[in-house]
Amino acid sequence: MSAGTLRIALVGNPNCGKTALFNQLTGGRQKVANYAGVTIERKEGRFTAPSGRVLQLLDLPGTYSFDVTSPDERITRDVLEGNYPGEAAPDLIVCVADATNLRLHLRFVLEVKRLGRPVVLALNMMDTARRRGITIDVPELQRRLGLPVVETVAVKRGGVRALIAQVDGEMPTAAPAQPDDAASRAGLHAQVRELMAATVVMPRATAQVDDALDRWALHPVFGLAILAVVMFLVFQAVYSVGKPITDAIGDGFDWLGAQAAALLPAGPLQSLVTDGLFGGLGTVLGFLPEILVLFLFILVLEESGYLPRAAFLLDRVMLSVGLTGRSFIPLLSSFACAIPGIMGTRSIQDPRDRLATILVAPLMTCSARLPVYALLIGAFIPARHVLGAFNLQGLVLFALYAAGILGAMAVGWVIKRIRRDRSEHALLMELPSYRLPHPRDVAIGLWERGSIFLKRLTGVILSLTVLMWFISTFPSPPAGASGPAIEYSIAGYLGRGLQYIFGPLGFNWQISLALIPAFAARETAVAALATVYAVGGEGGDLGQALTAHVSLASALSLLVWFAFAPQCMSTLAVIRRETNSWRNVAISFGYMFAVAYVASLLTYQIARWLT
Amino acid sequence: MRLSDLPKGAAAVVDRVDDAQANDPIAQRLRDLGFVAGEPVRLVAQGPLGADPLLIQIGSTRFALRRSEAARVAVRLKEQEAA
Ligand SMILES: Nc1nc2c(ncn2[C@@H]2O[C@H](COP(=O)(O)OP(=O)(O)OP(=O)(O)O)[C@@H](O)[C@H]2O)c(=O)[nH]1
Ligand SMILES: [Mg+2]
């Protein structure tokens, strides 16, 4: 590390806009959302100040106090005190405070000041403060605090100019360090009150809109009804908006495949391009619209400030199944992908609640399951309307999401029964102000999600699909063989071997085989099935091939399998990293496999008996 | 009176936070969050099941607290609603 680089750390209470500032300064794209505990790791970036100096910037998890209660808060304290492994204390601390809530945030500013290091105070969200008629006497605040104070608007271009000028200029002198003991801490509140009385005028303690919205959103009856409607709309929209686009993309790829087939000489190469690439990858790519619709809703919900309200409404229910309201947000992000969901549990203080949340998070229906669900539902469930307005396919999709949630509740309940430690769990959660999402930020978020999906598609899914094509094509059948060629390939033998395990669940050898690459990425199951059926001579649409060869009972059983089975290596790896224990990985894998096997078995046998 | 006993919509003033056990981290966190003597608080909303958790407004902040957490906070009812 060059000695000349100034190292700056951004700290402050949760949700005050540190990451938004970080992104604005460095041009970074770290996650910003409207609830406490978004940032859970230390993130590094750099930017060049107008003077030409390169400044290194650290974004840190928000914390209410140095008396830490959760793993993410500990990171912040350790970095600031210079105890973080491999890192010296920062040269300059930029303490960020929400200008609309200084009563709470100034206390932490005073705590940071006592570290005895150079500190700059950034009063962020000045746009909202002004709109609400809050006036702050900045020169007076600066004089009383003895620190430079600048105003910022982290979400506007040019909103951080004053801060850049400040950190690029002369280094502020540090206040003398003070010991951190209980008695002196208690005095901080009195100091905040004095500061507030002398420098801040607030017409109202809270925003009028928040009060009005919360009257409905937190109402014991309407609140729950609104929550149910919001959740239901998300899943209906995923299906009804996404599906038509998916079909159009699928048709497009079929056409492209046909064109390519006409150009290439018949043989293995033609088969690889049409069956593997256009058939396999094209099918997976077709589900991008569903995934984007889902993410659109998640991004809007995250920025709106509604999620902590939902957590508030559901806390009691979640407590009764061994979780906590705080589990809600990590579990909701697991609908996108379990990996950020599991990492997000770092903001849960109670280690037992955290572990329970980690263990059930993979049961939430992640977006990688969506292609599989959409494929099977599209092929086997008639597109009818029931009860007038509801799309039957959408309802089945909703039921699968519900199965994941109910499964998680059941597992949470069992964990709660088993564990011996029954001491108290804390909630202590802040509800933020409501905010209108910026269309630009949502668009950027969607773009990022889309590119991650495409990277997965052209990386792991592509290689596995080519591999699947290879093992389904070679070796060629011996001379004089009577059955279909694919039965003599490696894939044929492997698939039939797997039937000993999966046969009772109603899976034919093609499906059993496709479950293997799904372990690396669930969506690959779709590409693998498409490849295997295409090589086996079933041209055209994968959905049609499936309806011709697979019974409804098997399809339902497969859906249930995907809802519960431990199918994602990366998730298991993250569980290992976050809990630092192979035992938890084994528990997680073991229970999910058992649940999936039993549930699929029951589904298949019952459905076969009924149909 | 305890914060958990406040009727909905009622305003009160914090007296102190009591530790439920020695070195109670929850009580300490409540103090850090501003539950200190003389601070006005208000019960804004209650959860739909068993009226739990509670939504408490203190200063400009709304905190969701479970009843057991709120029970650590001793409060005095405000006789006269100040604006
Ligand atoms: N109106 C307005 N909103 C802002 C401003 N800065 C941040 N926000 C919003 O405030 C919310 C929190 O922003 P983040 O940057 O995620 O906050 P953080 O401090 O990093 O939060 P944690 O990582 O949870 O500690 C988001 O909804 C932002 O869009 C600002 O200057 N003005
Ligand atoms: Mg952040």
For residue B47, what is the domain's CATH number? 2.30.30.90
For residue B69, is it within any domain?
A: yes
pLDDT higher than threshold 50 for residue A2: no
Q: Could you give the 3-state DSSP secondary structure of residue A447? A: helix
**C-alpha of A150 from chain center:** 33
Report which of B42, B8, B61, B34 is spatially closest to residue A206, judged by C-alpha positions. Answer: B61
A320: closest chain B residue by CA = B49
Q: Which class would CATH give A5-205?
A: alpha beta
Domain segments of chain A: what residues? 5-205, 225-610
Which residues on chain A are in Cβ contact (under 8 Å) with B26? Answer: 424, 426, 428
Neighbours of ion ligand 2 (CB under 5 A): A 18-19, 38-39
> Which positions in chain B touch A317 (Cβ < 8 Å)?
49
- Report yes or no on B16 lying in a domain: yes
pLDDT for residue B59 is more than 60: yes
Q: Does the beta carbon of A431 lie under 8 angstroms from any beta carbon of chain B?
A: yes
CB nearest B48 (choices: A205, A313, A429):
A313
β pairing state of A54-59 and A385-386:
unpaired
Q: Which region, left, alpha or beta, applies to residue A461 given φ > 0 means left and ψ of -120 to 50 means alpha?
A: alpha
Residue of B28, B61, B69 to mutate, interface with A, max A Cβ within 10 Å: B61
Task: Give residue ranges with CB within 6 A of ligand 1.
Answer: A 14-20, 32-34, 36-39, 61-62, 124-125, 127-128, 153-155, 303, 435
Any domain includes B82? no
Residue of A105, A127, A134, A155 to test ligand 1 pocket, by largest number of atoms within 8 Å of CB: A155
What's residue B83's pLDDT? Answer: 40
* Mean pLDDT, rounded, for A14-39: 94
User: What residue numbers bound the domain in which B43 lies?
Assistant: 3-77
Q: What is the mean pLDDT of chain A?
A: 88
Say if B15 falls within a structural domain.
yes
Domain presence at residue B52: yes
pLDDT for residue A95: 97
Mean pLDDT to the nearest integer, A375-384: 87
Range of weakest confidence among A54-68, A121-135, A281-295, A296-310: A281-295
In a domain, B83, yes or no: no
Instruction: Out of A135-139, A535-539, A566-570, A580-584, give the one with best mean pLDDT.
Output: A135-139
pLDDT, mean of residues A434-438:
94
Is pLDDT of A203 > 80?
yes
**What pLDDT, on the 0 to 100 scale, is given for residue A1?**
43
**Per-window interface: B 45-74 vs A, CB < 8 A:** 45-50, 52-53, 55, 57, 59-66, 68-69
Q: What is the DSSP letter of A537?
A: T
Residue in A101, A220, A425 closest to B48 by CB = A220
Rounded to 10 degrees, the C-alpha dihedral A241/A244/A247/A248 comes to -110
What stretches of A419-476 show up as alpha helix (H) in DSSP? 439-456, 462-473
Q: How many domains does chain B have?
A: 1
A 203-222 residues with CB < 8 A to B: 205-206, 210, 214, 218-221
pLDDT at A527 over 80: yes
8 Å CB contact between A341 and A574: no
Residue minimizing CA distance to atom 7 of ligand 1 = A17
- Minimum Cα–Cα distance from B25: chain A residue: A69
